[in-house]
Structure 1
Amino acid sequence: MTAIFTSSNNSTLPAAWHRLTPIWQGGEEVIKKSLPHTQLAPAWQMLLLGDGSPTRHLELLTGEPTEVDVIDMSFIGMDLDDAPELIHKVPGPRLRRQVWLRTPSGQRLAYATSWWEASHVDEYLQNRSLPIWASLARLRTELYRDVRGIYYGYSPALEVGFNVEGPFWGRHYLFWHHGQPLTLIYEVFSPYLTKYLGATQLETVN
Structure 2
Amino acid sequence: MRARATFDRVVATRARCDVRGRVRGAVARARATRGGEDVRRHVPWTGGLEIIFSADERDVLAGASRGAPLDALSAPWRLMLLSDGSVTRHLSVLGRSARAEVEVVESGARRSDDDDDDAPGDVKRLGAGILRREVFLRARGTTGAGEAPAVYAASWWNEEAFRKFMPDEGASMWANLRNANVELHREIREVYLGKNERLEEAFGERGPFWARHYIFWHDGAPITVVYEVFNPALSAVLGRP
Q: Same fold (TM over 0.5)?
A: yes
What is the rounded CA distance, in whole Å, between the counterparts of 2:192 and 2:202 in structure 1? 18
Moved over 2 A (4+): 2-5, 14-17, 28-38, 77-82, 103-107
Shift of 1:196: 0.5
1:102 is the counterpart of 2:143: no
Change (3 A) 1:135 1:163: same
CA contact (8 A) 1:146 1:174 kept: yes
The match for 1:203 is none
Count of aligned positions: 195
Shift of 1:38: 4.9
What is the rounded CA distance, in whole Å, between the counterparts of 1:31 and 1:68 in structure 2? 30
Alignment counterpart, residue 202 of structure 2, candidates 154, 161, 165: 161
1:129 is the counterpart of 2:164: no
What is the rounded CA distance, in whole Å, between the counterparts of 1:115 and 1:25 in structure 2? 20
SS at match of 2:73: coil
Q: Which has the higher helix share?
A: 2
TM-score when scaled to structure 1? Answer: 0.86
CA contact (8 A) 2:136 2:150 kept: yes
SS at match of 2:111: strand
1:182 is the counterpart of 2:223: yes
| Unmatched segments (≥5 aa) in structure 2 | 1-15, 30-42, 141-145
5 Å matches for 1:4-83?
Answer: 4-5=19-20, 6=22, 7-8=25-26, 16-33=45-62, 38-64=71-97, 65-73=99-107, 74-80=109-115, 81-83=117-119
Bigger radius of gyration: 2
Moved more, 112-121 or 24-33: 24-33
Per-residue CA deviation, residues 150-169 of structure 1 (Å, 9 max, x unaligned), is 00111111000101111110
What is the rounded CA distance, in whole Å, between the counterparts of 1:98 and 1:51 in structure 2? 20
What is the rounded CA distance, in whole Å, between the counterparts of 1:163 and 1:101 in structure 2? 14
The AA in structure 2 aligned to 1:28 is E
The AA in structure 2 aligned to 1:72 is E
The AA in structure 2 aligned to 1:99 is V
What is the rounded CA distance, in whole Å, between the counterparts of 2:182 and 2:161 in structure 1? 14
What is the rounded CA distance, in whole Å, between the counterparts of 2:203 and 2:148 in structure 1? 8
The AA in structure 2 aligned to 1:22 is I
Shift of 1:77: 4.8
Per-residue CA deviation, residues 65-93 of structure 1 (Å, 9 max, x unaligned), is 20111111202253454311111111221
TM-score when scaled to structure 2? Answer: 0.74
What is the rounded CA distance, in whole Å, between the counterparts of 2:139 and 2:179 in structure 1? 21
Higher relative contact order (CA 8 A, sep 6+): 1
SS at match of 1:108: coil
The match for 2:235 is 194
What is the rounded CA distance, in whole Å, between the counterparts of 1:115 and 1:166 in structure 2? 24
| RMSD, matched Cα | 2.2
Shift of 1:16: 2.6
What is the rounded CA distance, in whole Å, between the counterparts of 2:93 and 2:62 in structure 1? 26
| Unmatched segments (≥5 aa) in structure 1 | 201-206
